[in-house]
Amino acid sequence: MKKTVIDSDSKLFALLGIVLNIVGFILAMFLKKDNKYVMFYAKQGLILFITAVIINIIGWIFGVIPIFGRIIYGTLWILILILWLIGLIYSLSGEERDIPLIGVFAKKIIV
């Protein structure tokens, strides 16, 4: 099995795709659209952003329920934080690895 070496520039843009979410995705689209590795993580960063927006909407809806709503909202934010940290680590690894739960959705984005 041949291992592909990913340059540090690609790792940096992949990291930006995860850290900056939608802004990172836009940067990757304009600057590194032909780089498969960068776009792989930029798409996952975009899905992380969309997931965070959905979590905010869910938190707003369940916010009317005093304790239960806060527990659900807090748990979902801890989950998104964990997924974000996994994405950071994966983007610097030099390998294309799906972030759990969201990787399958990122693969459906066609650019």
How far is the CA of 82 from the CAs of 48, 85, 109, 111, in angstroms?
A: 11, 5, 22, 27
pTM for the model: 0.89
The 3-state DSSP class for residue 108 equals: coil
**Which pair of structure tokens corresponds to residue 13?**
């843009």
| DSSP annotation of 100 | T
- Give the dihedral sign, CA 109/101/7/89: positive
Task: Kindly tell me the burial class for residue 4, based on how many C-beta atoms sit within 10 Å of its own C-beta (0-12, 13-18, 19 or more).
Answer: exposed
Divide the 111 residues of the chain into consecutive groups of 10 and give the mean pLDDT of each group.
75 94 93 94 95 92 87 93 96 93 92 81
Q: What pLDDT sits at residue 44?
A: 96
